[in-house]
Amino acid sequence: MTTNFIQATLLGDRQLFTPLPNFIAPNHYALGKLVTRVASNIPYIFWPNGEPCQVANLYMLSLLNKRGRRGRQGLALKGKKGGTFGNYASKISQLLRYCCRKNVELMEVSDGFFCEFMQSLREEKKNLNPLLDKKTALSVDEVGRVCLEFLRYAGVFYGNEMFVALEGNIRIEYREVRIKSKSGRLIVKTYLYHHSFSSGSSVKRRDPIPSAHISSLRQAVDELESSRFVNRRRSIMLSLLESIGCRRGELADVLVDDIFAAAEQKEPMLTLTNLKQGDGSQRSVPISKMLLQEVKTYIRYFRRPIIDNKIGLKNDHGYLLISETTGRRLDDNTITSEISTLRKQAKIPEKACPHMFRHAYITRLFITMIQRHRFENEDKFRFALLTWDKFAADIMQWTGHTDVMSLFRYIHIAFAEISGYASIVSSVHLVEVIHAYDSQLDNLITRMLEGPAVELFKDELEKLRMLRNEDISIAYRRAGVPEHAADADGSVSSPD
C-alpha cells in the first residue's frame, strides 16, 4: 500500500466489497486434477480507491473451510451482500478504511492503534440523530473480533505468527465459556478476547413488535398513496412476517410454487429456505388457509400482470415478492425499507423492522406453549426444552433455530407477557388462526369501505369464515385432541 494510494481520494462510506456471482474457487487436488467448488456471492474486497486488498480476499477464501453452525462446513453465502461472508467483509472494510485515514499499513497495526480503532467505532453517531450511538457495544465487539481474526491471518501470511498473539504486537487472550448440551454433557467453547472489548453491559436486543404497532402498520398501508399493487404487496408482507416468523431473506425467497404446494395440503405447511443452516437447508412451517387465500389472490390478480408486462410470463423467476418497476425478485433490503416507510407513516416512535415480527412470532409461540403444557415457571420451560426432544424439535422446526439455547431469551419475555395475554387456547396453531382471521377480516372491511359491492363483501366474508373453520379444525388435529375437547380452561396437558 503506497503513500500515493494512502493519499488517494477515500470514497466516503461506500461499501468496500462486491459479491462475485458464479465464482468458482479452487478446493484441492485429487488424482492429479484440480477440484473446484462453487462459491457464488463470495465478497471481493478492495481498498477505498478501488485497488484490491489481496490478503483480505485470501482470507475470504480461507473462510470457505470454516465450520459453520453445528459443525457444518462453510459459512452462508446467500443473499445480495454475500450472507455471513458479506458480514465479515463489511467488518473488515471498517478496519481497512481506518488504516487508510491514519496512513498505517496493515502490518504496522499495533495494540494501541487497534484500541484507537475500537474507540472510533464507539464514537460513531447515527446520521439522522447525532445524539445516538451508531453501534451497540455488542456490535463494536463483533467488528473487533472479526478484524482480529483477519489480522491474525494476515500476520501468519506475512510470516509473523506473533503479530496477533498472547504476547504479540496485538495482545489477545483466549477465554472459555462452559455450557451444558441437551444430554447434560459439559461443552467448553473458546473465544478470542482483547482488552479493548466492552464488558457487554450495554448490549441491546430488539424486542418483539407489539400488536398495536402491527395494526398501525396495516393502517398505514391504506393511508399511503401508492399503487394497488404496492399496497397489496405490503399487506402480504405484513401478513407473512406476522404469521410464519420468517427472516426477511427467507421471506424474499418464498416461491409462488411453495404457496400453491401448501394450498394443496390437507394441513398446509409452507416451505422456507433456512438461511442460518447452510445452503439448501429448508424447513416447513404451519400456515393458515385464510392467509394462503390472500396470497393466491395477490399472485393471480396483482403479481401476474406485473410479470407479464415487465419480463414476460415465459421468463417468470417464480419469486413471490417482486418489484413493481422491474418485475424482479424483491431485494431483502427493500423489505426493511418498506417496513420503515410504513413506520414513518404510522408515526411509530419506536424501532420497527422485519426481524421484530420474528421475535413476536416466537414469543407468541412460547406463550401458547406455556399455557398449553401448564409450565409454572421459566426453569420448568427451560428444562423441557433441554430434555424433551420432540418438544424442542417442534419449536426449532418452526423457528429455524439450530441451537436450543438460543431460544432461552424468549422464555423470559413470554413469562413477562403471559399475565396480560388474553387468548388461552388449545394449541399454538389455534392462536395463529385467530390472528389470521382478525387480520383478514380487517383487510376485508377496509376493501369494502373503498367501494366493492355489499354482495361481494358478503361472499368474501362467507368464504373467510369457511376457511377459518377449516383452519380451526386443522389446529385441533395438530394439537392431538378432538375438536372442542380441550380442558375447561382451554389448555392441553403435556404427555407424561
Specify the 3-state DSSP secondary structure of 249. Answer: helix
pLDDT at res. 143: 93
Instruction: State in Å, rounded, how far the first CA of the chain is from the last one.
Output: 67
Q: Is the pLDDT of residue 355 over 90?
A: no
Q: Is the pLDDT of residue 334 over 50?
A: yes
* Nearest alpha-carbon partner for 269 in 282, 280, 278: 282
Q: Which helix (H) or strand (E) segment is 416 a member of?
A: helix 408-418
Q: Is the pLDDT of residue 255 over 90?
A: yes
* Nearest alpha-carbon partner for 83 in 279, 256, 220: 279
- Please list the residues that pair with 180 across neighbouring strands: 186
Q: Give Cβ neighbours of residue 488 (< 8 Å, ≥ 6 apart).
A: none
- Lowest-pLDDT range of 219-233, 300-314, 326-340, 431-445: 431-445
Q: Give Cβ neighbours of residue 229 (< 8 Å, ≥ 6 apart).
A: 302, 303, 306, 324
pLDDT at res. 52: 94
400's grid cell: 429455524
Cα gap 275→283, rounded to integer Å: 10
Indicate the angle between helix axes 54-62 and 137-157, nearest 10 degrees: 100
| Long-range pairs, 13-18, Cβ under 8 A, ≥24 | 13/97, 14/48, 15/90, 15/93, 16/45, 16/46, 16/47, 16/48, 16/89, 16/93, 16/96, 16/97, 17/43, 17/44, 17/45, 17/46, 17/82, 17/86, 17/89, 17/90, 17/93, 18/43, 18/44
* pLDDT, tens digit, 9 for 90 and up, residues 159-197: 999 999 988 899 999 887 776 655 567 777 788 889 998
> Binning pLDDT at 50, 70 and 90, where does residue 420 land?
very low
357, 338 Cβ separation under 8 angstroms: no
354, 149 Cβ separation under 8 angstroms: no
Burial 411-423 (b: 16+ CB within 10 A, else e): bebbbeebeeeee
Q: How far is CA 21 from CA 81, 94, 183, 303, 330, in A?
A: 11, 23, 42, 27, 18
Q: Please, what CATH class does the domain formed by 211-479 belong to?
A: mainly alpha
Residue 300 DSSP symbol = I
Which has the higher per-residue pLDDT, 450 or 275? Answer: 275
355, 276 Cβ separation under 8 angstroms: no
Mean pLDDT of 357-370: 75
Cα gap 213→350, rounded to integer Å: 9
pLDDT at res. 496: 37
Phi, psi of 330 (to 5 degrees): -70, 130
Mean pLDDT of 311-335: 95
pLDDT at res. 149: 94
- Lowest-pLDDT range of 261-270, 329-338, 361-370, 427-436: 427-436
Name the residue type at position 64.
Answer: L
> Binning pLDDT at 50, 70 and 90, where does residue 448 land?
low
Length of the chain, please?
A: 496
Mean pLDDT of all residues in the chain?
78
Mean pLDDT of 218-234: 93
Cα gap 192→37, rounded to integer Å: 30
Look-up: residue for cell 403471559? 418
Q: Is the pLDDT of residue 75 over 80?
A: no
Q: How far is CA 268 from CA 256, 384, 397, in A?
A: 14, 27, 15
Cα gap 277→75, rounded to integer Å: 9
* Nearest alpha-carbon partner for 372 in 354, 394, 401: 394
CATH 1.10.443.10 intervals, the chain:
211-479
**Assessment of whether the complete model's pTM goes beyond 0.75:** no
Look-up: residue for cell 483480505? 56
